Each structure stands twice: as structure tokens, then as C-alpha cells.
Structure 1
Amino acid sequence: MGQPDDMLDDEYYPAYTMGRAAEIIGCSQDFLRRLGDAKLIDPYRSVGGHRRYSRYQIRLAARAREMCDQGTDMTAACRIIILEDQLEEALRRNEHHQHG
């Protein structure tokens, strides 16, 4: 594992407990569990089995909460976010291949 400063800069490092992640997003812990059930996020599990979230996962969850607050069904919101993420990654790879 990297140095502590490297981990803090890593948006994929699971630095946040479920309670803290829910607080940041402004949602319930149950909402986060349901996002996991919907396969939007798959939190890291600590040795004790506690869920830990990265900044990247918190951003995805916040986007899902925003969409759900606007009336989008959770399953549909999760699918849209997953597709948007896949599209962004495909565009990034395409850009890399064109200029790499």
C-alpha cells in the first residue's frame, strides 16, 4: 500500500465509513445499502466486515440521490449512471488511442 498522503489523494481509496458517507451525501445508510444491491457501488469491506467508501463511490451515490430526489426510480438512476460512467471511460480510451 502507498504512503498515507498518496492514499488521501487517491479518489478510489476507501477512506469513508458508511455513516460518514451517508452524512456527506445527505442520505440514509439504507440508501447506500440499496445502491450496493443495485450494483452501482461495491464498497470495500474492512476486516470486521464494515463498508468503506471512496470519494469516487460517494460521487456516484450523490448523483443517484440527486436523480432519485428528482423522481427517477433508483434502479433506472443506477443504470443511467453506470452507462454514463462506461461511456466516459470509452471516450477516454478512444481519446488515448487517437493521441497515444
Structure 2
Amino acid sequence: MTQSDDMFGDEDYPAYTMGRAAEIVGTSQEFLRRLDEAKLFTPFRSAGGHRRYSRYQLRLAARAREMVDQGTALESACRIIILEDQLEEALEQNRKLQREKSTDAV
């Protein structure tokens, strides 16, 4: 597998320019800048200083846009998404530990 093939499956690879990311999410570039300011995520910067976004970041941006469209304040939406993400990570770690524990018991 070549290096470029690895990038296609990488959720965190910063493949999208700001303009394309805004188009995919269905929002403005200003909205993406505000998500960065609210610390929902920090986009990668190209050598020229341009923001680049990953598929994972686009999913977070789409979720934030959905919540804002439903009336949630941007800062609150970002905080909720961050907490949801942290909870999912903790649950995944717990599941992993439980699997290891059950394997050790056998």
C-alpha cells in the first residue's frame, strides 16, 4: 500500500480546503473560523498558512451546524460536542479494558 492509499482511509488527514469544507458542511467559511475560535477543533495549516480540514473535523462541524440551526448557541454546541466526544472515548476505553479483563480471566 502506498502512502497516498493510507491517506484515503485516514479520518484525520487534512484533505479539505476551507472553501471545500464549507461547501461540504453547507455553511460559510466564517462559521468554520468561529468553530476554530470556540476550540471545537484546530484545523491543520498548510505551508502557506491556509486552513485544511479532515473528515473527522467536517463531521464535528456538521454536528455543530445542526445544533446551531436548532437554536443552540455556538459556544454551547461546541462544548456539548466536545463532551460527547470525550464520553465516547471514555466508553471505548472502558469497553477495551472490559475485553482485556474477560480475556485475562479465561
TM over 0.5: yes
Distance 1:9 1:81 in 2: 23
From the CA coordinates, give the structure whose radius of gyration is larger.
Answer: 2
Aligned twin of 1:52:
52
Number of equivalent positions: 99
Aligned twin of 1:36:
36
SS of the equivalent of 2:52 reads: strand
Structure 1 residue 8 displacement after superposition: 1.1
Structure 1 stretches of 4+ with a deviation exceeding 3 A read: none
Unaligned runs of 5+ in 2: 101-106
Distance 1:9 1:20 in 2: 19
Superposed CA deviations along residues 32-81 of structure 1, whole A, max 9, x for unmatched, are 00000000010000000000000000000000000000000000000000
Counterpart amino acid of residue 66 in structure 1:
E
Unaligned runs of 5+ in 1: none
Structure 1 residue 88 displacement after superposition: 0.1
SS of the equivalent of 1:13 reads: coil
Output the aligned Cα RMSD.
Answer: 0.8
- TM-score of the pair, normalised by structure 2: 0.92
Distance 2:31 2:8 in 1: 25
Aligned twin of 1:13:
13
Distance 2:42 2:96 in 1: 27
Distance 2:71 2:98 in 1: 39
Counterpart amino acid of residue 64 in structure 2:
A
